[in-house]
Structure 1
Amino acid sequence: MPNQTLNKTRIYLPESMSGVVLTAHGETDKLHYRNDLEIPTLTSHDVLIRVAAAGINNTDINTRLAWYSKGEADSADASWSGQALTFPLIQGADVCGTIVAVGSAVDPKRIGERALIEPCLQEHNSEPLNPPGYFGSECHGGFAEYTKVANRHAYAIQSNLSDTELASFPCSYSTAENMLSRANVNRQDIVLISGASGGVGSAAVQLAKARGAHVIAITSASKRLALLDIGADQVVTREEDLVTALGENSVDVVVDLVAGKTWPVFLQLLKPGGRYAVAGAIGGAFVELDVRSLYLKDLSLFGCTVLAPEVFQNLIHYLEEGKIQPLVAQTYPLKEIVKAQEAFQKKHHLGKIVLNIMKD
């Protein structure tokens, strides 16, 4: 197939692209780097993005391992949306790149824009998604040289930050901002954040401080100073007894990425009328709930997955105004995705691990 031009622009596309495909649920041996992948074909409301960098997330790992399934690993509910995946799949939810082509219904002036992709998708192939999907799960994502997304999900960004730094934001920071929005966090609140050294947790620390809240972070002792440096007002370690350290009825909001055996303690810590927001369960998906704590304290529990309409635009504003800073722990070339995911799963890092995709 000859090189293409789209919308009579001078942007030329190669005949194929490099990328990483996931061939089935399983371990990292299911990830394969290839240089003969087809460049995405645009529908009318799409944009084509030349990917510069893409971050690694828990979603990537969970999807590969079929962690979302409530049955067998290869069952029909083993994706983010609770539906079966189509293989081979290009994963990658965190993307920074440049728009190089647009569909027939999109303004050609968008070509050349630097963009971040909103990972929670309401539209794909110019059709609404119901339920919503996730970039790199229900459709191909950003672990490749080119990717496509609906025009509405590609946000122009004006920033002095590098592509690698910007790729650390979309998934983690939009998830964190969504949790804070759902829990209506404000400057009067004391907010407790679990898993605070991870991508979403460290994002929640910065974003809660941007809202003026008092932030208490839970992390390992070795990462205490780092969490204080990014804005936490107080740090408690995972080894401490949280009730002894903080006191019952001491926090207004819990932002939880961990769940697991500590979960009942969070309800003890919440004040009457407190709010609990969750978007992860890396400590264990099954918890013990004393329903009396829930209703006698008038608590509100929020499961946070689908982004509210204003969340990603809020994130863009924070970035352009310099209110949040990137936390890039390590970078790897795309070919070394296995090493990158192995490093990610060790959880020794603070912030994000990012793949550099644009060739030198």
Structure 2
Amino acid sequence: MTTIPTAIPDTMKAILLNGHGGPDMLEYRQDIPVPTPKDHEVLIRVSAAAVNNTDINTRIGWYSKSDHSKDDASWGGNALNLPRIQGADVCGEIVAVGDCVDNIRIGERVLVEPCLSDVNGESVSPAWYLGSECDGGFAEYTVVSAKHAYKIDSDLTDIELASFPCSYSTAENLLTRAQVVKGDRVLISGASGGVGSAAIQLAKARGATVIAITSASKHDLVLGLGANTVVNRNENLGETLGTNSVDVVIDLVAGEQWPQFFDVLRPKGRYAVSGAIGGALVELDVRTLYLKDLSFFGCTVLEPEVFCNLVSLIEQGKIKPLVAKTFPLEAISQAQTEFQEKKHVGKIVLTVTE
């Protein structure tokens, strides 16, 4: 392992997830061993890490399709290896590298791609997720394959940069899979959340017309992000927008409104989904699917070009960070509680090191 002159401590502060359940499963510790990078890994001093749905879903066992038991409640559908350090949204600085990584990378300011296809130089399938299948960024230090640590050149603060990785890469992946292009009319559910607000900006960057679904209290904020039209989430979409009126649906909610998405999709329309916060079990009239020649895209593992494209957009200033509030690492329970209340627009970020 190669390090920079600044001493790396033996132990660090971190948040341990000790089991599935409520916030009481999260334990703040100051005596966790600092990880050592393996041959193809880098050690990152974490400066900021944002909160997202994946952290909470993993904690409560939401991914389990059986009884929320520990047997299939990780992001990848396997048992979670506990205790686990969560945290998928990471901004920090490389302070040490493994033997097979060029030490010129030491000192780089980086964003971490949270969807991991490479673990210490070896391909993994299905992909891992940072903070689920391996330890993540709710700690002073974390390790990741060098491939997934992207150097970033930006005037934004580390807190602002930490708002991007998970939400914006998920949004960019949805748009990539759905092949959104200039001139498309794109309907986005859950538009005020982290992924939804990112999808608005990224769809606009592609030249699309954006119709955003959100609560009445957030209309002005969502319009400020660039949405062309805002629809109240309680409205009937077919009555408000008209049948066969949109090219693409970017869905983060599912739930009771789900069948309406297919009323408003045009023939040969595209539906892409990466969330189900409104309810995972929905009803589909299969006749609508085949008679309209619709295409469905489940979006989890990032396409190879997605994160690189995202970093480029950040560096060019084509998308802006949305930080709703910050908390110190030790206040993670309060941060996640406010996150679940869904009264904010954008990201809630934990500050780790300065």
Q: Same fold (TM over 0.5)?
A: yes
In the other structure, the counterpart of 2:109 is 114
In the other structure, the counterpart of 2:304 is 309
Measure how far apart 1:75 and its partner are. Answer: 3.6
Is 1:153 equivalent to 2:153 in the alignment? Answer: no
Check the 8 A contact 2:20/2:70 in 1, yes or no: no
In the other structure, the counterpart of 2:211 is 216
Aligned counterparts of 1:81 and 1:8: Cα–Cα separation in 2: 33
Alignment root-mean-square deviation, CA: 0.8
In the other structure, the counterpart of 1:334 is 329
**% identical equivalent positions:** 63
Range 118-127 or range 216-225, more displaced: 118-127
Aligned counterparts of 1:75 and 1:86: Cα–Cα separation in 2: 9
Aligned counterpart in structure 2 of residue 169 of structure 1, from 164, 168, 182: 164
Q: Which amino acid aligns with 1:338?
A: S
Aligned counterparts of 2:200 and 2:32: Cα–Cα separation in 1: 39
Task: Work out the number of aligned pairs and report it.
Answer: 354
- Residues 220-243 of structure 1 show CA distances to partners (whole Å, capped at 9, x for unaligned) of 111101111110000001121211
Aligned counterpart in structure 1 of residue 174 of structure 2, from 179, 187, 200: 179
- 4+ residue segments displaced more than 4 Å: none
Q: Which amino acid aligns with 2:93?
A: T
Check the 8 A contact 1:18/1:33 in 2, yes or no: yes
Check the 8 A contact 1:11/1:101 in 2, yes or no: no
Measure how far apart 1:8 and its partner are. Answer: 5.9
In the other structure, the counterpart of 1:195 is 190
Aligned counterpart in structure 2 of residue 143 of structure 1, from 132, 138, 141: 138
Is 1:82 equivalent to 2:77 in the alignment? Answer: yes
Check the 8 A contact 1:19/1:145 in 2, yes or no: yes
Unaligned runs of 5+ in 2: none
Range 10-19 or range 324-333, more displaced: 10-19
Check the 8 A contact 2:3/2:96 in 1, yes or no: no
Within a 5 Å distance, the mapping from 1:66-77 to structure 2 comes to 66-77=61-72
In the other structure, the counterpart of 1:296 is 291
- Residues 9-41 of structure 1 show CA distances to partners (whole Å, capped at 9, x for unaligned) of 413211200010000011000000000001112
In the other structure, the counterpart of 2:221 is 226
Measure how far apart 1:128 and its partner are. Answer: 2.1
Measure how far apart 1:91 and its partner are. Answer: 0.1
**How high is the TM-score relative to the length of structure 1?**
0.97
- Residues 86-140 of structure 1 show CA distances to partners (whole Å, capped at 9, x for unaligned) of 0000000000000000000001000000000000001223332121010000000
Check the 8 A contact 2:3/2:106 in 1, yes or no: no
Q: Which amino acid aligns with 1:189?
A: D
Q: Which amino acid aligns with 2:140?
A: E
In the other structure, the counterpart of 2:249 is 254
Measure how far apart 1:45 and its partner are. Answer: 0.3
Aligned counterpart in structure 2 of residue 10 of structure 1, from 5, 8, 26: 5
Q: Which amino acid aligns with 1:241?
A: N
Measure how far apart 1:201 and its partner are. Answer: 0.3
Aligned counterparts of 1:66 and 1:12: Cα–Cα separation in 2: 38
Is 1:58 equivalent to 2:41 in the alignment? Answer: no
Say which SS state the counterpart of residue 171 (structure 1) adopts.
helix
Aligned counterparts of 1:195 and 1:258: Cα–Cα separation in 2: 6
Say which SS state the counterpart of residue 37 (structure 1) adopts.
strand
Is 1:281 equivalent to 2:296 in the alignment? Answer: no
- Residues 201-250 of structure 1 show CA distances to partners (whole Å, capped at 9, x for unaligned) of 00000000000000000001111011111100000011212111100000
Aligned counterparts of 1:8 and 1:153: Cα–Cα separation in 2: 19
**How high is the TM-score relative to the length of structure 2?**
0.99
Q: Which amino acid aligns with 1:342?
A: T
Check the 8 A contact 2:97/2:103 in 1, yes or no: yes
Aligned counterparts of 2:258 and 2:100: Cα–Cα separation in 1: 48
